[in-house]
Amino acid sequence: MLEVFEMTSTHVMGADRPARPLLRKRILVCGKGGSGKSTLVALLAMALEQRGDSVVVLDGDASNPEGLVRLLFGLGVREEPKPLIEFFGGTRRVTCPVDDPAPLTRVGDRVPVPERPIALARELGAEYMLTRGVLRLLQAGKIETYGQGCDGPIEKVVRDLLIEDAVVTLIDEKAGVEHFGRRIPERMDLILGVLDCTRESVSIARRLAEFARAMPPGTLWLILNKTESEAMTARMLELLGDLGARVIGAVPLIDGLTQTALSGDRLDAHLAQGDVEPILDRLETIAAEAG
């Protein structure tokens, strides 16, 4: 199936591939609801972990009450890490990026976080992260109570949480494109649009491409997900038209994923490994070429 992408990929393999070009990169993963964003984030994180890269996964989906904590650690809602928005003073202090575009700051400090990034071990207590080896899971915040209000403050945490450590940061965003309206992607190095095989995903991809005109060239890339056949992949590429050049890989419909979701077990790191590894190769090439 991946032969479909050979004309749009320039893989750099072996000794020619720069060492760890994704370190200190922020990668935002977005798409329509149900496209498989969280699953893909988990698969990418585990593949990076196996390569020896230190990985921080930031759960930026304020609506999903579980997801990554189960996919990566096999845990439930009660074991989620403490929301980062509390580290920054909670929703009474952190403002919506639309109402107040000023950058995120620490409590008692005027220096914006993007100007002095967060040092994980020195600043964040263990309650703010789940850790396994070189992988850490952080959570921006969740909608937890009726009438809690706008999730804009949580989105500001997503936008501005830059990390001092040499890590790859993968950010799982909520469904849709609302975060683009709030300019959340402006501090991202790469944006990955996850497309399941639906016309709705094609429409979202076109909208993402429109938004990408305001970003540096080479920021937005697309991944096809839940592909059931080569014919389905070909049909998606046909529907995407010129946007097909932005597709950097495809992940098939994973056998047994539904059973894993019902059991609550951690996602198997080897699921779709052969499809995820070429995507990482391509991302490394893109990051290296961008400098």
CATH number of the domain residue 38 falls in: 3.40.50.300
Mean residue pLDDT of the chain comes to 89
pLDDT in tens, 243-276: 999 999 999 988 877 777 778 888 888 888 899 9
> Domain range for residue 124?
2-12+20-290
Report pLDDT for 7.
33
Q: What is the pTM of this model?
A: 0.91
Between 291 and 154, residue with greater pLDDT? 154
Confidence of residue 9 (pLDDT cuts 50, 70, 90): very low
Q: How much is the average pLDDT of 148-176?
A: 93
Polymer length in residues for the chain? 291
Q: How much is the average pLDDT of 160-166?
A: 96
| Sheet arrangement for strand 190-195 | 130-132, 135-139, 55-60, 168-173, 26-31, 190-195, 220-227, 247-252
Confidence of residue 22 (pLDDT cuts 50, 70, 90): very high
- Cα–Cα distances in angstroms (integers) from residue 275 to residues 25, 132, 198, 241, 259, in the given order: 21, 23, 20, 22, 21
Which residue(s) pair with 139 in the sheet? Answer: 59
Report pLDDT for 201.
97
Confidence of residue 119 (pLDDT cuts 50, 70, 90): very high
Please give the tally of structural domains in the chain: 1
Report pLDDT for 11.
36
Cβ atoms of residues 159 and 97 within 8 Å: yes
Token code pair at residue 22: 């994704």
Report pLDDT for 1.
37
